[in-house]
């Protein structure tokens, strides 16, 4: 008896251990990066990963230490967490960048755009890159006077990591996505890469919105500034400011537009699983008007139930009473 108990316990422990290792391994496999690539990229990171770099000046025969242009610094941790973490720098940049100083040729070389690789990309068809591009070309950022606006200005090719689709914490991807917009709308030098206009202060232009801090941490800029597009998860058509959502009921109502934007991923998955509607919102926050009141719902169901019971009792009493009457 005792030995059997010991065997069962051991089996149980082993299977738990096995399951945990398998999950950990499976997770690690998804981020596996060829060590040879890391070594090769280190040739670039030794300068582009730090605020200073050194090189040997053969004219003066001295080792020279200089500051790296801050815009040319790439955080290696962010790089190895990004969508393109398995890439060599040389997959997108000229091999001539391996020499220092970099040649003029390397500098003038055209850079890849996202669509150079992702147009007709069947392995990533779930993103629907074509539709995203179409949406982007309709947006204010892509109008004629902003010719130089590219996807890379919002999606840094070295650090962009899909977020809304994969991050389970809504608060996290709200922050991530809003930072993309604020990287220009709260940063004059990046904004002025594209225009000589003044950059209006976002806090001032949204002063009409009550409890602004709460709103900016609970919804994304794109909730109010894009046209909803059911073919893609993240709408890319940023509309002119006149068309931005200003009406409170667009969100604070039962058919909240948040279900088709912010909570789209959670919502579509939930809906197919459980047949629920604004459950996704309820889990993350209580948006006045958008969430049904469950206590009221429960009370009304109880009341309805009571009415049915009373009716049933009443009806059966009448049947019994009537049949008695007939027998008399």
- Where in 108-127 is the site for ligand HEC (CB under 6 A)? 111-112, 114-118, 124, 127
Alpha-carbon gap, residue 135 to 230, rounded angstroms:
11
Site for ligand HEC in 258-297 (CB under 6 A): 258, 285-288
Nearest to ligand HEC of 197, 325 (CB atom): 197
Neighbour count for residue 100 (Cβ, 10 Å): 10
The yes or no reply on residue 44 touching ligand HEC (CB under 6 A) is: yes
User: Cα torsion for 150, 155, 159, 161, to the nearest 10°?
Assistant: -150
Nearest to ligand HEC of 20, 57 (CB atom): 57
Site for ligand HEC in 161-190 (CB under 6 A): 162-165, 173, 176-178, 180-185, 190
The yes or no reply on residue 89 touching ligand HEC (CB under 6 A) is: yes
Size of the residue set binding ligand HEC (CB under 6 A): 108
Can you tell me which of 55, 56, 304, 321 binds ligand HEC, judged by CB under 6 A?
Answer: 55
Site for ligand HEC in 197-216 (CB under 6 A): 197, 200, 202, 205-206, 209-211, 214-216
Shortest Cβ 269–ligand HEC spacing (Å): 13
Q: Considering only CA atoms, which of 40, 36, 39 is closest in space to residue 95?
A: 40
Can you tell me which of 48, 174, 229, 259 binds ligand HEC, judged by CB under 6 A?
Answer: 48
Alpha-carbon gap, residue 79 to 83, rounded angstroms:
8
- Chain mean position to CA 72: 25
- Chain mean position to CA 8: 45
Alpha-carbon gap, residue 85 to 81, rounded angstroms:
6
């Amino acid at each position: 008896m005792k030995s059997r108990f010991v065997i069962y316990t051991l089996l149980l422990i082993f299977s738990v251990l096995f399951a945990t290792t398998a999950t950990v391994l499976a997770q690690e496999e998804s981020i596996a990066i060829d060590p040879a690539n890391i070594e090769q990229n280190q040739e670039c990171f030794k300068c582009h990963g730090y605020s200073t770099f050194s090189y040997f000046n053969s004219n003066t025969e001295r080792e020279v230490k200089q500051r790296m242009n801050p815009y040319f610094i790439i955080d290696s941790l962010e790089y190895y967490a990004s969508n393109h973490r398995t890439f060599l720098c040389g997959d997108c940049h000229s091999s001539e960048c391996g020499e220092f100083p970099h040649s003029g040729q390397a500098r003038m070389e055209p850079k890849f755009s996202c669509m150079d690789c992702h147009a007709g990309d069947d392995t990533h068809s779930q993103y629907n890159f074509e539709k995203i591009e179409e949406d982007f070309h309709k947006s204010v950022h892509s109008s004629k006077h902003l010719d130089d606006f590219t996807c890379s200005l919002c999606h840094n090719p070295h650090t962009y990591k899909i977020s809304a689709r994969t991050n389970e914490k809504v608060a996290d991807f709200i922050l991530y996505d809003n930072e993309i917009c604020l990287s220009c709308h709260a940063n004059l030098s990046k904004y002025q890469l594209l225009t000589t206009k003044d950059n209006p202060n976002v806090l001032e232009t949204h002063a009409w919105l009550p409890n602004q801090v709460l709103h900016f941490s609970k919804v994304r800029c794109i909730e109010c500034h894009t046209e909803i597009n059911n073919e893609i998860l993240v709408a890319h058509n940023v509309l002119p400011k006149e068309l931005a959502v200003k009406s409170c009921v667009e969100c604070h109502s039962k058919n909240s537009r948040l279900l088709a934007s912010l909570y789209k991923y959670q919502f579509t998955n939930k809906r197919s699983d459980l047949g629920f509607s604004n459950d996704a919102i309820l889990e993350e926050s209580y948006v006045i008007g958008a969430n049904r009141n469950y206590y009221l719902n429960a009370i009304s169901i109880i009341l309805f139930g009571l009415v049915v019971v009373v009716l049933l009792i009443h009806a059966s009493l009448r049947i019994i009473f009537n049949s008695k009457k007939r027998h008399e």
